[in-house]
Amino acid sequence: MAEHINTQFDVELEAIRSQVLGMAGLVEDQVREAMRALASGDAAVIQKVLDRETEVNDMHVKLDDMCVHMIARRQPAASDLRMVMTVIKSVEDLERVGDKAARICQRARTIFESGRLQVPRFSELSHIADLALAMLASSLDAFARRDALKAASVVRDDSRLDEEYRALQRQLITVMMEDPRTITLTLETQSIAKAIERIGDYAVSIAKYTIYLVKGEDVRHRSLEAIELAAGTPRDE
């Protein structure tokens, strides 16, 4: 009987994990489509991303409900409980990534409807988006594989994204100072850049929860060195 219960529990846990990966794939696609909309101004792509935001939200609610019911019925412990808690936290971050994709599309619509043929500083925005998407993909892969070392590498990569984001912010401030007529448009571009940077932050958050899942150690609010040590990353002598 106990073996049957354990088997059923494993099946339910795997179903939750599979749903998370499905949501992750959808969210990644949302960000890519948002950047495509930013490049082209395609109204259909913009609307597609905005419409699918509801689907992301529904998956978030569904996974939360599945996790709450599992805790209530199965009372998981140790690594199983860590998996459930990691899912609860990670799907919240994924839902926020979906929100940022929608925000990028909203800003893109505003810019193109103002008569602009392209988004200012698109090349720089595309560059930081590539960095953020790479971090998100690595973070989700680390979760899927339970790879603490790969998760730690995502945390390490965040400094590069932050540096590129700050460089773009300085450029945008300079543009506004030199020509006040560009302020409104530049602020829209700043909002897009911030949304992209936040996607990287959510990737880092998921990576930290993955380290907690694998190692049983909460690494939030810790230094990079402490996080790498917890993940088991070899240190240079």
Q: Which residue has tokens 């339970």? A: 146
**Rounded CA gap, 213 and 79, in Å?**
7
Q: Are 103 and 150 in contact (CB under 8 A)?
A: no
Q: Does 2 score more than 50 pLDDT? A: no
Report whether pLDDT(126) > 70.
yes
- Cα distance between residue 71 and residue 119, in whole Å: 47
pLDDT at 235 over 50: no
To the nearest 10 degrees (0 to 180), the angle between helices 148-178 and 183-215 is 170
How far is CA 6 from each of CA 3, 76, 138, 213, rounded to the nearest angstrom? 5, 10, 31, 20
Q: How far is CA 94 from CA 52, 59, 81, 89, 119, in A?
A: 14, 10, 20, 9, 26
Please determine, for residue 134, whether its predicted confidence score (pLDDT) is greater than 60: yes
Using the predicted structure, report yes or no on whether residue 5 has a pLDDT greater than 60.
no
Domains of the chain are: 2-231 (1.20.58.220)
Return the higher-pLDDT residue of 4 and 30. 30
Query: Which residues neighbour 85 within 8 Å (Cβ) at sequence distance 6 or greater?
Result: 209, 212
**How do residues 157-179 score in pLDDT, each as one tens digit?**
999 999 999 999 999 999 999 99
Indicate the SS3 state at residue 90. helix
C-alpha distances (whole Å) from 69 to each of 16, 74, 209 are: 11, 8, 21
The torsion angles phi and psi of 179, rounded to 5 degrees, stand at: -145, 95
* Averaged pLDDT, 72-79: 88
More confident residue, 183 or 4: 183
pLDDT tens digits along 33-70: 999 999 999 999 999 999 999 999 999 999 999 999 99
pLDDT above 80 (res 117) = no
Q: How far is CA 63 from the centre of its chain?
A: 17
Which comes out higher in pLDDT, residue 34 or 12?
Answer: 34
Continuous H helices in 75-221:
78-113, 122-145, 148-178, 183-215
pTM for this predicted structure: 0.93
- 3-class SS of residue 107: helix
